[in-house]
Structure 1
Amino acid sequence: MAPKVVLVTGATGYIGSAVARAFVRAGWITYGLIRSESAKTRLAAEEILPVVGSIDDVDSHGAILESVPPTLDAIVSTTEDITNYVPHYNNIIHLLRTLGLASSKNGVRPLVIFTSGCKDYGVGPHYHGDPGLAPHTEESPLNPPAVLAPRTIHAQKIFDHKDAFAPVLVRPINVFGRASSYYQHFFKLAEKLSAAQKPLIVNVPPNSVSQAVHVDDCGDAYVALASHPNRNEVEGQVFNISARRYETVDEVLNSLAAEYGIPEIKYVDPSDPSAQENPWPPMLLDFPQWTGDEKIRKLTGWSDHRPLFSEALQVYRVAYEAAVAIRDHNVETIQNLGSFLGDKK
């Protein structure tokens, strides 16, 4: 039986690269769409076949089509421009339809896994120990922060394109590991405070829920959906991708303080004057959210295996520092996100 074939867009991005590696490990012939010729060697070294092209250059979509096989079993979309979401989304849809219709014409209607995020559900608010505490599920109401509303609204429209492909929408929780994505701010702040021997000032409750999944486990979840033997159970569905349990802010910060030798964790009321010195970027600590993912676990058997962030923080710190040292572009990509989300520091 011939190996299945997948195209992953944004294959050098933070989630995209993890997804592409996961498909390679699972035995798929994996094509990766990238914008830069300079990334071709890096991709090829991971046994990912590079396809150079730009999603936002619609005129180039025909050339992208010519660079992939006549049929694709799956296409995974992992790119977004959160600062200007809708134009990029429209271009993604144009490319997905171009590829999906061509593959369908040749006999294979591809599964398209489209990426949004669990912040679509908004703040729980979820606090460990609260009576009636329950996770968000795929049936929970959508209530995103205003800055992410365009993604929440438009991502659902992927289901309008069943004529061209078999759509699936995934909502990963926060991801960490390797270059660390937004979780790099834990390391950056801890390093500063350690050097100055200053306390961690925290203006959220210590029992605030903090939940994240390792990016490699997240990549494996995409493969589990694409590999599921009954397409009818996957197509047209929404799936959360989360971690086997949540952590609390206190768990994470105690692990951070121990790793960096920070002398004190100081929890303060938001009205306290010292809270005005809040060093945390938005939506890192102040977004208490517990997201359940029993749906994907029960259907596919997928499970996350990597230690949680607080359980192996030293491992993830060393990996992040290595990513900085080799100038991993995924470290740099996150630099301007905080300001867009409302970080005024």
Structure 2
Amino acid sequence: MKVLILGATGFIGFPAAQALSRAGYFVYGQTRSSEKAKRLAADEIFPVICNPDSSSWHHLIPTLDVIIDTVGGDGHGPDASKAVFQGIEAAAKNLRPSGSPKLSYIFTSGTWVHGDQGWDILSDTTPVDSSGADSAPLVNWRPGVEQQVVKSQILNGIVVRPSLLYGRSGSIIGLMFDRVRKTGKVTWPARRVSGSTDGKDGGRMATIHQDDLADFYVRAAERAQVIGGLIFDVSNAYSDDTDGFLGRMCEVAGVKDGFEYYEPTNLFEKAITTQHIIRPYLARSLLGWEPKKPGLTDGLGLYWNAYLAHCVDV
């Protein structure tokens, strides 16, 4: 199997590229950086240096089995995400030999599309309406792109929605680690809750380790021809209590003054506070996928040490 990963040096893309290479597949990794291309080559991944929406790599499309988009529009918005998808659709239509199997395209979205659903239990097939969520401007375009992907007549479209990611350099959790390292304080944006004593609390977080997500991509790529048209939530089967997570962070980092919540200052921080209790089932039932890494709070000492080592390395 030949796989191309868009965003192959990112927090999601790099472990996915490594996992697919270790599984024995030929992996092409798109990156914008010549320096990062060396990192891909060292891991037996063929580097492709260009922007994700470039057509300079489209000559590979006739020979590829799967394309995995781990960029997902983040930092570039819906127009860039649609441009990548539509460019691949057009190239597949024009370049792949007649009678070829559909090229599989796995688009990375996120569980924020569920919005803040409080204590409702959600799954992969729960209908999505993020229009009323505080984070809606960040994600309300995603369901439309998701539907374009899974309903494509040219590509074999699949959507994956990871929840809040953790591990190694930390991703969004790493932003909190940065504040702890620089200020000696444990802080997190507050979630507004009616009925709580001060009108706010931390709620709960749906989370997934980057390695468990990478394992999902391997399984999805291997079975892509039989799971086309489906949307998968990829999340631990249990949620992390934010108060417990922050309390444990104080212990791990030696912060004596306890943790503090602060008012979100932008839409991104509001999005971080959205609560959705997710019990995904499609990846388990169709792909045999199960998360293996310790949860965020349970393994926090390990993840904090990994983050600190990453800071030394970079």
Higher normalized helix content (fraction of residues): 1
Q: CA deviation at 1:301?
A: 0.5
Partner-residue secondary structure (3-state), 2:57: helix
Separation of aligned partners in 2, 1:55 and 1:326: 27
- The residue aligned with 2:212 is 217
Match of 1:49 among 46, 49, 61: 46
Separation of aligned partners in 2, 1:105 and 1:53: 28
Partner-residue secondary structure (3-state), 2:48: strand
Higher normalized strand content (fraction of residues): 2
Separation of aligned partners in 2, 1:69 and 1:8: 12
The 8 Å contact of residues 20 and 218 in structure 2, kept in 1 or not, is answered as: yes
Q: Deviations over 1:107-152 (max 9, x none)?
A: 34221111111001101223xxxxxx42343223321522221233
Matches within 5 A, 1:27-176: 27-57=24-54, 61=55, 63-66=56-59, 68=60, 70-101=62-93, 102-103=95-96, 105=98, 107-126=100-119, 133-143=120-130, 145-163=136-154, 165-176=155-166
Matches within 5 A, 1:269-308: 282-283=269-270, 286-308=273-295
Q: Deviations over 1:289-326 (max 9, x none)?
A: 22221111111111111111111112211222232333
Q: Say whether 1:185 aligns with 2:172.
A: no
Match of 1:317 among 301, 304, 307: 304
Match of 1:236 among 229, 240, 243: 229
Q: CA deviation at 1:156?
A: 2.3
Separation of aligned partners in 2, 1:35 and 1:215: 21
Separation of aligned partners in 2, 1:183 and 1:24: 27
The 8 Å contact of residues 104 and 157 in structure 2, kept in 1 or not, is answered as: yes
The 8 Å contact of residues 173 and 241 in structure 1, kept in 2 or not, is answered as: yes
Q: CA deviation at 1:10?
A: 0.8
- What stretches of structure 1 of length at least 5 have no aligned partner? 127-132, 269-274, 328-345
Separation of aligned partners in 2, 1:280 and 1:115: 20
Separation of aligned partners in 2, 1:159 and 1:317: 37
The 8 Å contact of residues 190 and 257 in structure 1, kept in 2 or not, is answered as: no
Q: 1:33 to 1:106 in 2, by over 3 A?
A: farther
Which stretch shifts more, 255-264 or 92-101? 92-101
Which stretch shifts more, 75-84 or 290-299? 75-84
The 8 Å contact of residues 31 and 49 in structure 1, kept in 2 or not, is answered as: yes
Partner-residue secondary structure (3-state), 1:282: helix
Partner-residue secondary structure (3-state), 2:102: coil
Alignment length (residue pairs): 301
Separation of aligned partners in 2, 1:277 and 1:65: 42
Q: Say whether 1:254 aligns with 2:247.
A: yes
Separation of aligned partners in 1, 2:151 and 2:128: 20
Separation of aligned partners in 1, 2:188 and 2:88: 46
Separation of aligned partners in 2, 1:40 and 1:279: 33
Partner-residue secondary structure (3-state), 1:314: helix
Q: Using structure 2 for the length normalisation, give the TM-score.
A: 0.85
Match of 1:20 among 17, 22, 38: 17
Identical counterparts, % of pairs: 24
Q: 1:157 to 1:277 in 2, by over 3 A?
A: closer
Q: Deviations over 1:136-186 (max 9, x none)?
A: 4322332152222123332321134222x2111111111111221111122
Partner-residue secondary structure (3-state), 2:21: helix
Q: CA deviation at 1:96?
A: 1.8
- What stretches of structure 2 of length at least 5 have no aligned partner? 192-199
